[in-house]
Amino acid sequence: MRGNQTDLVFTDRFEALASIAHRVSFRILGDRHLAEEIAQEALARAYSRWTKVVPTPAERTSAEVGDGIPGAAPVATAATAVAPDSASVSAASGASTASTTAPGLTHATTYLIVGVDARADDPAIGSRGDTIMLLRVDPSTDTVRLLSVPRDLWVTVPGSSRPGRINATAKPDNPEDLVSAPETSTRASRSTAADA
């Protein structure tokens, strides 16, 4: 029976999940009591929707077979490889209020993803945005859009009257410039200011 199975799996993993939920909540909120409350509510919700949270073994297998790339090992290496030397992800997140509902985004959010070309052994090069992408995730329309911006794109940087290459604006010590450059160029909206 499905219900019993769910109970078994849930009990089995409850301890681990409770610890993680509390840890994550605390990391985000910085408040131990609030974190405990949130963790409890999260687990209560997880329990009520448990069959949706954890795919059954059959679903999991088909997902892995489906993408045609065997083996789990390369995932971690590849993930780090995407960031050339160091990558800076500027999250233009609009979720400014502490939400206790679903962990996903509550509204459309645009992320600026920058691969920074900086070499420790050659500081003379300085640092420039080498790969620039805007990722927009819109839960209201279920769309995910990735827009690449060529590094040699000729744009007018805000606060300057003279145009320049967009990648020259990507300085790690001043990511705000790069955030505003594509915003001006493509009028991509950014719901809240990133913490400076």
Footprint of another protein on 38-97 (CB under 8 A): 46, 53-55, 60, 63-64, 66-67, 69-72, 74-84, 86-91, 93, 95
DSSP letter assigned to residue 47? H
Q: Of 171-190, which residues contact another protein (CB under 8 A)? A: 172, 175, 185-189
Q: Supply the minimum distance, in Å, between the C-beta of residue 133 and another protein.
A: 8
Q: Are 17 and 46 in contact (CB under 8 A)?
A: yes
Q: Judged by CB under 8 A, does residue 118 bind another protein? A: no
Kind plus residue range of the DSSP H or E element containing 111: strand 109-118
**60 or 159, CB closer to another protein?**
60
Neighbour-count burial of 182, counting CB atoms closer than 10 A to its CB (0-12 exposed, 13-18 middle, 19+ buried): buried
**Angle between helix 32-48 and 2-29 (nearest 10):** 160
The count of chain residues that interact with another protein, using the rule CB under 8 A, is 84
State which of residues 30, 142, 161, 173 lies at the interface with another protein (CB under 8 A). Answer: 142
The C-alpha atoms of residue 106 and residue 104 are separated, in whole angstroms, by 6
Q: Which of 38, 134, 170, 178 binds another protein (CB under 8 A)?
A: 134
> Does position 33 bind another protein by CB under 8 A?
no
